[in-house]
Amino acid sequence: MTKVKNVVIAGLGGQGVLKASDILADAAFRAGFDVKKSELHGMSQRGGSVSSDVRFGDRVLSPMVPPGEADVLLVLEETQIEINRPTLKPGGVLIGPDVLNAAALKNKKSLNVALLGAVSTVLDIPEEQWLAAMYANLAEKLHTINEQAFALGRSAAIERKAADQ
Amino acid sequence: MTSERLLLSGDDAVALAALHAGVRLGTGYPGTPSTEILETFDQLGGRAQWSPNEKVALEVGMGTAFAGARTLVTMKHVGLNVAADPLFTAAYTDIEGGLIIVSADDPGMASSQNEQDNRHYAQAAALPMLEPIDSQQAYDFTWLGFEISERWKIPVILRLTTRVCHSKTIVHPRGAAAETPEPAFQRNIPSRVMIPAYAKPAHHRLRQKIAEIAAWNAAEGPIRLDEGSPALGIVATGIAAVHAREAAPEARQLTIGLTYPLPMERIRAFAEGVERLVVIEEGDPVLLDTLRAAGLPAEGKPEMYRFGELNVARVRRILAGDVSPEPVPPKGKPPELCQGCSHRSVFQVLKDLDCIVAGDIGCYTLGVLPPFSAMDTCVCMGASIGVGLGMRHVLPEDQARRVVSVIGDSTFVHSGITGLAEMVYNPPATGHLVLILDNGTTAMTGQQEHPGTGRLLDHSPTGKISFEALAEAMGVQNVHVVSAQDKEQSLQDLIAGLLAKPETSLVVTRQPCVLAAPKIRFYEKAAAEQASETHCPAETAD
Ligand SMILES: Cc1ncc(C[n+]2csc(CCOP(=O)(O)OP(=O)(O)O)c2C)c(N)n1
Ligand code: SF4
């Protein structure tokens, strides 16, 4: 059995955290993995902290990422990094809003998808599944702008990786 | 089973199964985490409607089930308290069409006022209870629930929990059922009219049904056995079963799907084959107590794990008997009333007037948080009016005059109307003031319609209750409507004036929820367009 990949996405209500985790879960689903995705709805609409767990692999049991076991932590809002850091496993990848230049986004609302672009560079899911999942989860009029955002995030992460090496 | 493979939330899986199983009507009242079931059922093409509250929803569902239609009734855990009166006696009746009552529990209180464990209701009312572990089981158990319900003519409770409702997991659906029977009235007085003469034999019949279902559960019920070392045997239910499997993959595990009535022979046989028997269940020790009462040497969880949800880490600790303090999760940012929310100005006024506020449940409960801190009580839906009246009855006059009951529009329809009757019937000496914060929607649970909005679950137009006309008809002495255009100052003056009078008063503050407002405008426009199409001058001329 290959290991289960654990991803946690966090931010504030209204930032599209749940949408981002929907897209990620759907991309993993399309890539043929067993997938479970979990989150708490409810008060998230009113601007409070939100987080969502996505787990995929051959067989996933609990839908929740145990504390300290996230392979990847994606945080959409600077202030939410510290409170979510305990979910990350030692040596796990943290992706924060600063991996890309948000000013380059045509629409601020597509930050969630742009950051998924960055996440896509560290997960074993083919790019076409990411795009298919994005199309399936977003209204058609948002496709182009989010495609651009995804590409921006993806190339920013690749550049950063190259610079780090 | 078809080859189709879907990624669905537990709520959506129940809705899809209801559609496939031929449910003719879904009724319910919104409540996290159950709300999406009926919304999805409607979007999939099912017939779904919101009732004013859970009691009415269940009563409508009993009617459809008596008439031979497969029926789904949905609510959150506390909703079953409201529906408990029909629930207990529905258990005595014989139903024709399958009836599933969804109780969506919220261990950990992600969005609820308590974390009551509704497994107690199954035992107390003697109703079969199914507890899925994931979306596939939520789908399968909806089907199974209808089969059990129709075979034994008994309502079935499908107990979901927040993590099952809102987690997405993979589902292989079966596809739609062949035709289901057409509803038709069949007179069956002794099994549907619960006067003592008929209810006494009905209670015996109920116990007989439960004994038969227990035997069926042991013989062919939805039980899963995971092989493993006999050193540790785990008996688990619901979402806790998957946490347990992950925490102790080496253990032997029995996961029970129909958790009332229990398959005792199966559990006893399992217990005999293991050295250590541990029950892993979220919430109260319901399963544990039953196993112990049956004489099984079962271990439960330390008391600290009764509180909140379980997860893999907590199950590991339970198995290790670890009662050391758990790491406290860092506090996130709390939610607050949206900028521009119509509730804000009301709470500012209540704060400025130093009111004693008997509050209620909805977005406006956030008025309890700074900067307003303008709520003194909040218990259950509708309680604001009774609690406010009670305080008025006994407080010294200067304090009694400051008491105000604050209730949302959906909550008022749900269970505030009887409170208003109480105010008219037993008015305190100082009078009383009720504020209905009418924002034109059930905002808290994601903007559902209710009988005060004049729109159905699918947002198409229907009859509309006027709160002010209702209050006048009930005999409330002063009835006022304050609209969005009115300034905070005039609201303050109005409230101060009414508090000074020893009379009964109702003020409706009417301004749409800012998140819902664009949609409300859209629905109103669509309704107006449709009305002008159906009433074209040529048609009305004759
Ligand atoms: C018995 C019961 N059913 C359902 C709920 C879930 N719930 C909490 S508040 C609420 C209604 C809120 O609507 P409204 O009163 O209009 O206030 P708003 O949120 O719009 O401010 C609902 C459905 C509950 N807490 N208790
Ligand atoms: S959702 Fe609506 S009612 Fe709730 S806080 Fe926001 S504006 Fe107010």
> Residue B326 corresponds to which tokens in the numbers above?
């758990």
Asked whether residue B538 is assigned to any structural domain, the reply reads: no
Tens of pLDDT, residue by residue over B312-331, are 999 999 999 999 999 988 88
pLDDT above 90: residue B181: no
B541 part of a folded domain: no
CB-closest option in A13, A47, A62 to B243: A62
The protein residue with its alpha carbon nearest to ligand 2, atom 5, reads B337
Q: Is residue B284 part of a domain?
A: yes
Classify residue B335: in a domain, yes or no: no
Ligand 1 centroid vs B320 CA: distance in angstroms? 40
Contact A41 B168 (CB under 8 A): no
Q: What are residue A36's phi and psi, to 5 degrees?
A: -135, 140
Residues in chain A: 165
Q: Give the residue carrying structure tokens 């009694």.
A: B400
3-state SS, B492-525, equals: HHHHHHHHHCCCEEEEEEECCCCCCHHHHHHHHH
Tell whether B415 is covered by a domain: yes
Q: Are B257 and B130 in contact (CB under 8 A)?
A: yes
B135 and B31, same structural domain? yes
Digit-coded pLDDT (tens) for B464-494: 999 999 999 999 999 999 986 677 779 999 9
CA-wise closest residue to B54 among B148, B118, B108: B118
Q: Are residues B524 and B384 in the same domain?
A: yes
User: Among B240-254, B258-272, B288-302, B520-534, which is the least confidently predicted range?
Assistant: B520-534
Tens digits of residue pLDDT in A98-139: 999 888 899 999 999 999 999 999 999 999 999 999 999 999
* Distance (Å, whole) CA B406 – CA B388: 9
Considering the domain architecture, whether residues B205 and B236 belong to the same structural domain is answered as no
Summarize the confidence of residues A33-54 as an average pLDDT.
83
Average pLDDT, chain B: 96
Q: What is the DSSP letter of A144?
A: H
Does one domain contain both B93 and B177? yes
Residue B408, classed as helix, strand or coil, is: strand
Whether B538 has a pLDDT exceeding 70, the answer reads no
Q: Examine the domain organization and report whether B53 and B31 are in the same domain.
A: yes
- Asked if residue B87 has its Cβ within 6 Å of ligand 2, the reply is no
How far B470 CA sits from the closest chain A CA (Å)? Answer: 31
Overall number of domains in chain B = 3
Distance CA A101, CA B273 (A): 61
B177: helix, coil or strand? coil
Mean pLDDT of B347-368: 96
- The whole-number pLDDT of residue A131 equals 97
Tokens of A3: 């290991």
What is the C-alpha to C-alpha distance for residues B202 and B198, in angstroms, rounded to an integer? 6
Q: For residue B123, what are the contacts with CB-CB under 8 A and spacing of at least 6?
A: B260, B286
What is the B408 CA–ligand 2 centroid distance (Å)?
11
The answer as to CATH 3.40.920.10 being correct for domain A4-164 is yes
pLDDT at B428 over 70: yes
Confidence of residue B1 (pLDDT cuts 50, 70, 90): low
Instruction: Identify the pLDDT of residue A1.
Output: 45
- CA separation for the pair B264, B272 (Å, rounded): 12
The number of the ligand 1 atom at minimal distance from the alpha carbon of B438 is 16
Contact A49/B at CB under 8 A:
yes
The neighbour count for residue A76, using CB atoms within 10 Å, is 23
pLDDT of residue B319: 98
Residues 6+ apart with CB under 8 A from B521: none
Strand runs labelled E in B132-211: 156-161, 168-171
Tens digits of per-residue pLDDT, B10-23? 999 999 999 999 99
Counted residue by residue, chain B has a size of 542
Is the CB of residue A13 less than 8 Å away from at least one CB of chain B? Answer: yes
Structural domain spans, chain A = 4-164
- For residue B287, give its domain range: 223-320
pLDDT > 70? residue B358: yes
Q: Which residues pair with A94 in a beta bridge?
A: A73
Distance B82 CA to ligand 1 centre (A): 13
Note the pLDDT of residue B437. 98
The per-residue pLDDT for B540 is 44
Give the pLDDT band (50/70/90) at residue A34: very high
Q: How far apart are CA B540 and CA B527, in angstroms?
A: 18
Q: What is the pLDDT of residue B542?
A: 43
Q: Are residues B79 and B149 in the same domain?
A: yes
What's the confidence (pLDDT) of residue B539?
Answer: 47
- Say which residue, B180 or B505, is predicted with more confidence: B505
Contact B233, B274 (CB under 8 A): yes
Of the candidate ranges B48-57, B238-247, B488-497, the one whose mean pLDDT is the lowest: B488-497
Query: Would you say residue B542 lies in a domain?
Result: no
Closest CA to ligand 2's atom 4: B363
Q: What is the pLDDT of residue A73?
A: 98
Determine the residue among B166, B253, B315, B442 to mutate to test chain A binding: the one whose Cβ has the most chain A Cβ atoms within 10 Å.
B166
pLDDT of residue A125: 97
Strand, coil or helix: A47: coil
User: How does strand B129-130 pair with strand B258-260?
Assistant: antiparallel
- Residue to test with chain B: of A62, A77, A83, A89, most B Cβ within 10 A: A62
Whole-angstrom CA distances from B348 to B253, B435, B508 are 55, 14, 16
Q: How far is A165 from chain B (nearest CA, A)?
A: 33
Return the residue of A nearest to B239 by Cα.
A62
**Quick one: which H or E segment has residue B155?**
none
In terms of domains, do B238 and B172 share one?
A: no
Alpha-carbon B367 to chain mean position: 23
Residues in chain B closer than 8 A to A22 (CB atoms):
168
Q: Is the pLDDT of residue B514 over 80?
A: yes
Q: Residue B45 gets which letter from DSSP?
A: T
Are B380 and B398 within 8 A, CB to CB?
no
Task: Establish if A52 touches chain B: CB-CB under 8 angstroms.
Answer: no
The pLDDT tens digits of the residues spanning B54-64 come to 999 999 999 99
d(CA B455, CA B42): 14
pLDDT of residue B541: 41
Both tokens of A120, joined, read 């896509």
Q: What is the mean pLDDT of residues B202-217?
A: 98
Which pLDDT value is given to residue A157? 92
Whose alpha carbon is nearest atom 7 of ligand 1?
B31
Q: How far is CA A14 from CA A48, A70, A108, A136, B169, in A?
A: 9, 23, 12, 20, 24
User: pLDDT at position B485, please?
Assistant: 66
Nearest-Cα residue of chain A relative to residue B331:
A83
* pLDDT (0 to 100) of residue A155: 94
pLDDT beyond 70 at B267: yes
| pLDDT at B290 (0 to 100) | 98
Distance (Å) from the alpha carbon of A163 to chain B's nearest alpha carbon: 33
User: B216 to each of B98, B119, B140, B234, B378, how far by Cα in Å?
Assistant: 18, 20, 17, 22, 44
Chain A neighbors of B162, CB-CB under 8 A? 40
Residue B279: how many other CB atoms lie within 10 Å: 26
pLDDT of residue A156: 93
Model pLDDT for residues B135-177, shown as the tens digit of each residue: 999 999 999 999 999 999 999 999 999 999 999 999 999 999 8
Category of B109 on φ-ψ map: left (φ > 0), alpha (ψ -120 to 50) or beta: left
Indicate whether B161 and B287 sit together in one domain: no
- Residue A131, classed as helix, strand or coil, is helix
Does one domain contain both B457 and B392?
yes
Shared domain check, B261 and B298? yes
CB B391 within 8 A of CB B444: no
Q: Which CATH number belongs to the domain containing residue B257 in this structure?
A: 3.40.50.920
CA–centroid distance, B381 to ligand 1, in Å, is 7
Which atom of ligand 1 has the smallest separation from the CA of B439? 20
Probe target for ligand 1 pocket from B378, B414, B520, with the most ligand atoms within 8 Å of CB: B414
Rounded mean pLDDT of B118-135? 98
Q: What percent of chain B has pLDDT over 70?
A: 98
Cα distance between residue B226 and residue B253, in whole Å = 5
Q: Given this model, what pLDDT does residue A45 score?
A: 59
Are residues B513 and B447 in contact, defined by beta-carbon separation less than 8 angstroms?
A: yes
Q: Does B229 lie in the same domain as B104?
A: no
Which pLDDT value is given to residue B17? 98
Burial A31-68 (b: 16+ CB within 10 A, else e): bebbbbbbbbbbbbbbbbbbbbbbbbbeebbbbbbbbe
Q: Do B330 and A86 touch (CB under 8 A)?
A: yes
Q: Which residue in this structure is represented by tokens 């008809």?
A: B473
Report the CATH number at residue B169. 3.40.50.970
Q: For ligand 2, is residue B439 a contact (CB within 6 Å)?
A: yes
